[in-house]
Chain A
Amino acid sequence: MADLDLPTRQGFAPDDSFRGGAAALPGEIPVTLTINGRKQELHVRPWTTLLDLLREDLSLYGTKKGCDHGQCGACTVLIDGQRMNSCLALAVTKDGCEITTIEGLEGADGTLHAMQEAFIEHDAFQCGYCTPGQICSAVALVNEGHAKTAEEIREAMSGNLCRCGAYTNIVDAIQDVMAQGAKADGVKAHGAAKMEAAK
């Protein structure tokens, strides 16, 4: 993400532990991942999780490490459009997949995703640590189409913990986006346009 101005880790070159495109170190395996619309040829060690690849090697710090054991949902990303815990996914097993993180939800022109707008509008976070996972999960929830009522949304969001307790407003934000069905459809088109632009 060349357009992101993120600090590099002190004392380490950004790619200290990782060399995309370069020859593989022993034990490294070549994989192709399309991350936020950008196809990347990478070399990964088999024990690197998708979460660690995103954060430590690709400097995509939006996806958060909470429990690192699939219990909190802070690391939720979309893998081929389905929400999953990136902490429990070994990156090597996702070879060929399309990954969408919180950084990839906005439009090509930088317009926030409807769900991002709704979270701001409804004050659906306090500290914000769980928010990228909440938003990725919520985007998938809307696309899945199984949850409709507030009760169903709560059940379908149970994999995302918020220790600040913003749950009520998170449900409101999701319901708001659902109520704007046309807007949600526009969001999908938005993502597709971004993928197109990145090719």
Chain B
Amino acid sequence: MNRFSYARPGSVADAVRELAGNPAAKVIAGGTNLVDLMKYNVERPTHLVDVARLPGLGGIEEGEEGGLRIGALVSNTAAAYDERVGERYPLLASAILAGASPQLRNAATTGGNLLQRTRCYYFYDDATPCNKRVPGSGCPAKEGQNRIHAILGTSESCIATHPSDMCVALAALEAVVRVAGPEGERSIPFAEFHRLPGDRPEKDTTLGADEIVLSVDLPEPRFRTNYTYLKLRDRLSYAFALVSVAVALEMDGDTIAEARIALGGVAHKPWRVPEAEALLRGRTPDRSNFEAAAARILQGAKGFGHNDFKIELARRAVIRALKQAADGTPQSQTDKRIQ
């Protein structure tokens, strides 16, 4: 690990000041991803700004229209087991508990989960080129070991995936990320928070280098009954998703009134296709409609060899997840048998 200086500012404004004008500074909260990356020399900050004790960001508060505001410093554990989260956004609680281990969820924060970086082997290995780690150096994943890599939204520069489970649920729930910077606060719709790699794969998000996350704001709860988070991975627990699907449905009798489908493990950001969701609106929850939605989501999917299987896996996972949600039988995160 490289050497660095350390500051523990007492306010959000002071934290932003620590970051402004110092591009080599990094924010640390739980540290579960950053410290790991520093040990691999992937991240080499010269200054760490510890925000873990900033006042006002550690709680879950009532939001607008029955929504919730989850402070950036709320641990993944605290969010997942919060009674209000469980009652209003069971999809979110389920997705959080599908990720990492209890130890990591105790340390990891809501804001940090959003900002965690890809687990691409080449990104982590500083002996290899990687456009995300060293812009312009190349992407060995495209012709290399790419079993865990993206099949949607890739670019010539990067085929990495975003590793979060929590963010897949937040995308489906259309959360809003509230951030603070030198110019004050702004709100970023979840779909605009994470980026596709394009020709700037070093930028995972639209968060400014001198901005910090304040909260994740959840809108009016609408998906308490018909939801699921289906995660498929190489081991039954404590592994990143090969493919995951968050589904939230609003049913009107036997008809789907609203559908949200977000995929994890397949792209540089949680993957949503509004056109596929529109295909389900006003339709009955039957297999042919689910197949049509899945086909639309996977339209244009491209494998790179080892990850070709993800295209069919994702198609089937979407169909299965839609059925689980429509039936009101969400995937258990303990009993991993898929019904």
Contacts and interface: CB of A to CB of B under 8 A. Distances in A.
A155 B333 contact: yes
A46 B3 CA distance: 8
Interface in B34-71: 35-36, 38-39, 48, 50, 52
A83 B106 contact: yes
A76 B35 contact: no
Given A69-B39, A93-B50, A88 B31 contact: yes
Interface stretch (B97-105, B205-213, B258-266): B97-105
A73 interface: yes
Interface stretch (A17-25, A140-148, A185-193): A140-148
Interface string B69-98: 000000001000100000000000000000
Given A46-B6, A89-B35, A155-B237, A84 B106 contact: yes
Contacts of B28: 90, 93
Interface residues of A, number: 36
Interface string A160-177: 100000000000000000
Q: Binding site of A, secondary structure by majority: helix, strand, loop or mixed?
A: mixed
Interface centre among A49, A73, A76, A84 (most CB of B within 10 A): A84
Nearest to B2: A47
A26 to B, nearest CB: 11
Contacts of A159: 100-104, 238
Interface string A27-46: 10100000000000000001
Given A46-B5, A90-B31, A158 B334 contact: no
Contacts of B77: 82
B107 A89 contact: yes
Nearest to B75: A82
B252 interface: no
Nearest to A75: B103
Nearest to B36: A69
Contact of A47 (B3, B102, B107, B333): B3
A99 interface: no
A199 to B, nearest CB: 24
Contacts of B36: 69-70, 88
B143 interface: no
Contacts of B335: 151
Contact of A46 (B48, B104, B106): B48
Interface in B87-140: 100-104, 106-107
Contacts of B32: 70, 85, 88
Given A88-B31, A93-B52, A151 B3 contact: no
A123 interface: no
B29 to A, nearest CB: 9
B1 interface: yes
A151 B103 contact: no
Interface string B1-22: 1111110100000000000000
Contacts of A68: 39
Contacts of A27: 3, 5
Contacts of A146: 81
A141 B35 CA distance: 25
A63 interface: no
A160 B103 CA distance: 9
A108 interface: no
A60 interface: no
B180 to A, nearest CB: 21
Contact of A137 (B1, B35, B52, B102): B102
A83 B102 contact: yes
Given A29-B6, A90-B35, A85 B48 contact: no
A137 B103 contact: yes
A27 B104 CA distance: 28
Interface in B177-219: none
B94 to A, nearest CB: 13
A88 B6 contact: no
B112 to A, nearest CB: 11
A55 to B, nearest CB: 16
A152 interface: yes
Contacts of B3: 27, 47
Interface string B256-283: 0000000000000000000000000000
A85 B31 CA distance: 10
Nearest to A76: B103
Contacts of A46: 4-6, 48
A156 interface: yes
Contact of B102 (A95, A144, A151): A144
What 3 A-B pairs are tightest by C-beta distance, nearest first?
A159-B101, A158-B237, A46-B6
14 contacts: A46-B5, A47-B2, A47-B3, A47-B38, A49-B35, A79-B106, A82-B106, A90-B31, A92-B50, A93-B52, A152-B334, A154-B237, A159-B100, A159-B102
